[in-house]
Amino acid sequence: MTERDGNWHPAVIVRIEERTPRMRSCFLHAPLARHVAGQYVDVRLTAPDGYQARRSYSIASLPGAAELELAIALQDDGEVSAWFHEVAQPGDTIAVRGPLGGHFVWDDAHVGPVLLVAGGSGIVPLVSIARAWHAAPGAPMLLLHSARTEDALAFRPELAALAAADARFSYIPLVTRTAPGRRIDAALLDEVLANWGLVPARCYLCGPTAFAEAVAQLLVARGVPHRAVRTERFG
């Protein structure tokens, strides 16, 4: 579809890049307001018979970028994600609305170390936050990304390069299903924070509901105030 409908706007797929075997980035030209790192958009697909499907996807791109990047993970039995992985081509037009979300957003005005923790495809909004931080770096930032396998660590080359270029940014990738697999538990979090040598003033956690809740509880148990922990959950 190409027509405007309320808050929905047409967006054209400009290009597609593979991030992992099960994640690809679709770059869109979309007439939306500038987003804040951590926000998301709603996507609507319309079939020839009029059937519609809607999903929400986090924005990966740097705020102000010329193209809106949606990094979409393929979900089992996911009709919308399957379309992006198996059907979508540059030149296709979809409908989007947003940007949306006001809690899980990056505020570069606050002072203090920042901890980012991602589970699987929860890395997407944190990439936008890391990119925004890199554009105007401030307090130290640590990004901890847990995925099942090495090839599921989306954006790893970019994040590793950022860590190599700026000592204030730390990046720790973890895998859980290949040796030596490690999960984010109390012992690992204690080790990571001790090596970092800093106490996070704000934490952004994104991943499956059980993952985000478990990490949040671990951080609060280690003295991080509830108000300093922001979560984005899915599944």
Each residue's pLDDT tens digit, 199-216: 999 999 999 999 999 999
Q: How does strand 40-46 pair with strand 52-58?
A: antiparallel
Cα pseudo-dihedral 148, 174, 57, 226, rounded to 10:
120
125 shares its domain with 218: yes
**In-domain check, residue 109:** no
The tokens describing 211, both together, are 């993952």
Number of structural domains, the chain? 2
| Structural domain that includes position 200 | 114-234
Question: Does some domain include residue 209?
Answer: yes
Does a structural domain hold residue 153? yes
170 lies in some domain: yes
Which CATH number fits the domain that encloses residue 192?
A: 3.40.50.80
Query: 35-47: per-residue pLDDT in tens?
Result: 999 999 999 999 9
What are the angstrom distances between the C-alpha of 106 and each of 35, 74, 111, 132, 218? 11, 26, 12, 8, 22
Considering the domain architecture, whether residues 83 and 54 belong to the same structural domain is answered as: yes
CATH code for the domain in which residue 18 is found:
2.40.30.10
Q: Is residue 4 part of a domain?
A: no
Print pLDDT tens along the chain (235 aa). Answer: 334 456 999 999 999 999 999 999 999 999 999 999 999 999 999 999 999 999 999 999 999 999 999 999 999 888 999 999 999 999 999 999 999 999 999 977 667 999 999 999 999 999 999 999 999 878 999 999 999 999 999 999 999 999 999 999 999 999 998 767 789 999 999 999 999 999 999 999 999 999 999 999 999 999 999 999 999 998 7
